Amino acid sequence: MRRYLLPVAVLASLVAAWQLAASTGLLANVLNLEDFLVPAPSEIAKTLWEDRSLLADNAWVTLKEVLLGFGCALVAGLAFAVGLHLSETLRRAFYPLIVASQTIPIIAVAPILVVWFGFGIGPKLAIIALICFFPITVNTLDGLRSVDPDAVKMMRTLDASRWAILRRVESPTALPFAFSGAKIAVAVAVIGAVFGEWAGSSSGLGYLMQLDNAALNTPRLWASVTVLSAMAILLFALLALLEKKVVSWR
């Protein structure tokens, strides 16, 4: 329990300081805070409660996008990592492309995705997957390549097949790396979902944020941000828990 004490204490004191700054005229003046720019936490909390069903409906839409998009990225990322690990030619051919894929701003791909995939869940998944698969691929690949060479040599002397080496030696070594990549990916997946919804949507937290921003409804905008952050933290924690169960030898 004690390990949760510190993060909770840091978070609580930050929120308290924010509340104090936003509600005390003097501090707000010094920091140039205006309530229409940065609402007080108490106001956000009020909105969270009052608009809970609206927020929940839209959060559910975004959560589905995040889980599916992350799932696609996980499958593609692991497959890419294994493929690039097994073939030097593939690695040389595709590695620069994978890095380049991370440099494409969403604003450049969004119109293409809208035209290709329409306004369904397709473009959101594509954007989330595009953002997520990079950390998964790179981390897993690093993991696969960090295997103790002696262990591989020993497997070879035992006449092990390539598949057996991958399964018994390389994969277990790479697993913690893959989890690190997945944890990074899941945290940024929610940002991908928001960008995806900005490209074309009729529901979701990103959609709601855009409307609330245009309507100058800052408290609800921040309420959506809060829900989104909570979602990312929760998914991250679930992965960390899973990692603990799966990577038991660490």
Partner 1 sequence: MKRRIPLLLAAAAITAGALVLVACGEKPENVNGQPQPFSLTLDFYPNPDHVGIYEAQKLGYFRDAGLDVSINSPTDPSAPIKEVAAGRADLAISYEPELLLAREQSLDVKAVGALVDRPLTSLIWLRKSDIKRLGDLRGKTIATAGIPYQDAFLETILARANLKPSDVKAVNVGLNLLPAILGGRAQAMLGGFSNVEGIDLKLRHKDPTVTPVDQLGIPTYDELVFVAQGSRLKDDSEPIRLFLAAMARGTAAAEKDPKGATQALLEQNHSLDPKLTAAEVKATLPVLSQASPKRPYGYMDQAEWQQFIGWMRDHGLISSLPTPTQVLTEELLPGRIPG
* Region 6-45 residues binding partner 1, contact defined as CB under 8 A: 31-32, 34, 36-37
CB of 31 to partner 1, least distance (A): 6
Pairwise CA distance, residues 99 & 222, whole Å: 33
Q: Would you list the DSSP string of 106-130?
A: HHHHHHHHHHHHTTSSHHHHHHHHH
Residue of 134, 177, 207, 222 interacting with partner 1 (CB under 8 A) = 207
The least CB distance from residue 18 to partner 1, in Å, is 12
CA distance 134 to 237: 20
CB of 30 to partner 1, least distance (A): 9
Closest distance to partner 1 from the beta carbon of 95 (Å): 31
Residue 198 in contact with partner 1, rule: CB under 8 A: yes
Contact assessment for residue 195 and residue 127, using Cβ atoms and an 8 Å cutoff: yes
Q: Which is nearer to partner 1, 61 or 144 (CB)?
A: 61
Q: Which of 99, 104, 110, 167 is nearest to 133 (CA)?
A: 99
CA angle 226, 227, 232 (to 5 degrees): 95
Neighbours of 25 (CB within 10 A): 8
Among 19, 171, 210, 226, binds partner 1 (CB under 8 A): 210
Residue 239 contacts partner 1 per CB under 8 A: no
Asked if 203 and 134 count as a contact pair (C-beta separation under 8 A), the reply is no
CB of 100 to partner 1, least distance (A): 22
Our CA angle for 8, 236, 204, nearest 5°, is: 100
133 touches 76 (CB < 8 A): yes
Q: Residue 136 or residue 194: which is nearer to partner 1 going by CB? A: 194
Residue 70 interacts with partner 1 (CB under 8 A)? no
Residue closer to partner 1, measured from CB, 37 or 158: 37
Residue from the set 44, 61, 73, 110 that interacts with partner 1 by CB under 8 A: 110
CB 239 within 8 A of CB 175: no
Radius of gyration in angstroms for the set of CA atoms belonging to the chain, rounded to a whole number: 22
Q: Of 115, 154, 234, 241, which one interacts with partner 1 (CB under 8 A)?
A: 115
- The residue (of 154 and 211) whose beta carbon lies closer to partner 1 is 211
Among 43-51, 57-65, 111-119, 174-182, the segment contacting partner 1 (CB under 8 A): 111-119
Query: Could you list the residues that contact partner 1 (CB under 8 A)?
Result: 31-32, 34, 36-37, 107, 110-112, 114-115, 118-119, 198-202, 207, 210-211, 213-218
